[in-house]
Amino acid sequence: MGHELTKIERLDRAAKAIAAQRFISRMQVPGICSTLFLLSALVWRPPSPQEYWAAVITGGVTAGVTIMLLLGHRYAILAVVFVYVEMGIALALLTIPGHHTFMERGMFLCGSLVIIYYGFKRFRMGKQFASVFGKGWEEERAQVERWLDLLRRMGKNDNVRQILERTFKKGNLTYRLANTGDCWVMATFKTGQENDLPIDYRVRIPSAITMTEEPGGALCAQMDGHFIPSG
């Protein structure tokens, strides 16, 4: 019997699903490019039948998944996971033809493992996204959408706090937080893209986030042991 989610946990899962839409939008152009590249095997025939059919089948599957991405289908992320696994297997099959050198086979196999690993990293996101955009989550989706509009708007009377962070690894980030009384809502944006989809979006219990003010008035936050300094 699975764990029954609390109200805050359901809202948090819905918020993460909203943020996952950014991944879908960012995968659309690579999906189109990959489809065109792989289907070019219909014109340019690879040296062996295995390579030809690997490219044709992978291109056909990728085309279908790209359509799902463009439509924002609830199973789009899981479909992307499937494509990564399928592409990894197809790349591994390229080691079969005997004309490849030992080094080429090693590169194909390493590339195959990397692609499959990357796909499985997105499996949990895809599973939760499909669940949240199914039936029974309408109330949670509507609520986190309203909160996200609040964070984007950041009006003077909205009780929204903002932290700007400059990092070498992630670049410039904007954190916007609001305490609704029952929970904290926090969205992370690329600085200058606050009206776009958030990189991350969470709903947490009141005790999960602590706000502090540094000398000079700069705000800082701490969430689950992660310190967010003002840049």
| Confidence (pLDDT) at 185 | 94
Summarize pLDDT for 62-93 with one digit per residue, the tens. Answer: 888 889 999 999 999 999 998 888 778 877 77
CA-to-CA separations, 151 to 25, 72, 106, 164, in angstroms, rounded: 21, 23, 49, 14
Exposure string for 110-123, b = 16+ CB within 10 A, e = fewer: eebeebbeebeebb
Q: What is the pLDDT of residue 45?
A: 62
Phi, psi angle pair for 185, to nearest 5°:
-120, 135
pLDDT for 114: 87
One digit per residue, the tens of pLDDT, for the chain of length 231 reads 457 899 999 999 999 999 999 999 988 888 888 777 777 766 666 556 766 776 777 778 888 888 999 999 999 999 999 888 877 887 777 666 665 676 777 777 888 888 888 888 899 999 999 999 999 999 999 999 999 999 998 766 668 888 888 877 778 899 999 988 899 999 999 999 999 999 999 999 988 888 887 766 677 888 877 777 765
pLDDT at 10: 96
The Cα–Cα gap between 11 and 208 comes to 15
Model pLDDT, residue 34: 76
Helix (H, G, I), strand (E, B) or coil at 170: coil
d(CA 10, CA 62): 32
Give residue 181's pLDDT. 86
Query: For the whole model, what pTM was predicted?
Result: 0.81
SS3 168: coil
> Where do we find the tokens 């996200």?
148
Cα separation, 227 vs 67, whole angstroms: 40
Cα within 13 Å of Cα(193), Cβ side: 12
